[in-house]
Amino acid sequence: MADRPVCVLLPGFDGGGRLLAPRLAEAPLPFDPRLVALPSDTARDYDELVTWVMARLPTDRPFSLLAESFSGPIAIRIASRPPKHLTLTEPPPFVRRSADR
């Protein structure tokens, strides 16, 4: 639905969102969920996964990112160089800027 905000969901280690899908079906959501499954054809490092995900992000309207487990570092890297339309939210408390170390 174009009138609801978009939330891009990045799956955990399973890469396909098998754990997220049942939760999305359980209740009405205040956002339009967009699951970006991670590639499974070959092993990729985080930099390659960031590139993969960024190519699949909405370019026509604002969106937020919600990452599960394994995809957390992907979302953090994307947020560190935010694409157009990314709405940033408060990072989890365990995320520190490298200058804080």
39-85, pLDDT tens digit by residue? 999 999 999 999 999 999 999 889 999 888 889 899 999 999 989 89
What does pTM read for this prediction?
A: 0.79
Contact indicator for 49, 72 with CB cutoff of 8 Å: no
CB 40, CB 17: distance < 8 Å? no
The side-by-side arrangement of strands in the sheet containing 63-67 is 32-35, 6-10, 63-67
Would you give the DSSP letter of residue 5? P
User: Residue 38's pLDDT is what?
Assistant: 94
